[in-house]
Amino acid sequence: EDKVVQSPLSLVVHEGDTVTLNCSYEVTNFRSLLWYKQEKKAPTFLFMLTSSGIEKKSGRLSSILDKKELFSILNITATQTGDSAIYLCAESYGGATNKLIFGTGTLLAVQP
C-alpha cells in the first residue's frame, strides 16, 4: 500500500514568518494529493492537487505538486496564531473508491 510521509513532524515559528511543509508520496495508484488543516476538531479541506507545477492558492496559503519527484509542499506566508494546527497531507488512491491514505501530519505552532 502507498505511503505518505510528512516533514517536519513539528514546527514552531513566530507570527509573520513563512513556513514550508513537505509531503512525499508513493505512486502505485495515485489519483490526487490533498491537504487538510486540523485544529482541535475535524480536518478541514484546503487543497486538492492533480497536476504538476500548477499552484493552488487561497489567501496566504499555497500548494504545489511535483509528480516527477513525488512530493508536494504547502506554503504559509505571514503566519498568524490562527494558523496553529496540524496540517495533514493525503494521497487519494484505489481506483474508483476515493480512498485516502494520510501522512502523520505536521504540527505547526505560531507564537505571537
Output 64 or 88, the one with its CB closest to other proteins.
88
The footprint of other proteins (CB under 8 A) covers: 1, 31-32, 34, 41-45, 48, 88, 90, 92, 96-105
Name which of 60, 2, 62 is nearest 32 in CA terms: 2
Residue 27 CA to residue 10 CA, distance in Å, equals 25
Among residues 80 and 97, whose Cβ is nearest to other proteins?
97
Min dist CB 65 to other proteins, Å, is 13
Cell of 35: 491537504
Q: Which residue has the cell 487543497?
A: 47
> Please, what is the minimum distance in Å from the beta carbon of residue 16 to other proteins?
29
Site of grid cell 480512498: 99
Q: How far is the CB of 28 from other proteins (least distance, A)?
A: 14
